Amino acid sequence: MENIHATCVCVDGDGVLIRGRPGAGKSDLALRLIDGGAKLVSDDYTEINNDDGNLMAHAPGTISGLIEVRALGVVRVGAKKYTNIRLIVELTPRDQIERLPERLNETLAGVSVAVLKLDPFDASAPAKVRLAVRATRENLWVEPEMPGRGKTDEGTGDE
């Protein structure tokens, strides 16, 4: 078992780890996802482990069901006990995010997980997280065909 600095929510049945420096917006993004139907798993610190090839996450006992909401304080919310992590959201300033990035993965506890770099304060951030969870679950990712990425320019066949 490993304790990491990350907030975790369950979106449409799949776990999302939200990572970033202190004050970066982890709890804020989690709150907006929860407001849209996600369930809190753990705020600020999350315990992870490899369970037969699945990256599982749950809250340390002392903070289970609690979320820190800036300007409100620590609040008890309905929480899910554990979840299987499908996506890592790396909170990143907008000017450091590529428009059409290559797909990223990271290995935690021996399990490879998709990574999404995201500015948490974009109005569309919760929608992007939900779409990324779905895209990862249903294998909907499309690598962009861009110069310098090794793709050939074969056209669309519409000519």
d(CA 142, CA 72): 40
CB 8 within 8 A of CB 83: yes
Check residue 78 and give its pLDDT.
Answer: 85
Give pLDDT tens digits for 29-50: 999 999 999 999 999 999 999 9
> Could you tell me the domains of the chain?
2-137 (3.40.50.300)
Please give the positions annotated as active site: 5, 26, 44, 99
Instruction: Give 95's DSSP letter.
Output: G
Global pTM exceeds 0.85 = yes
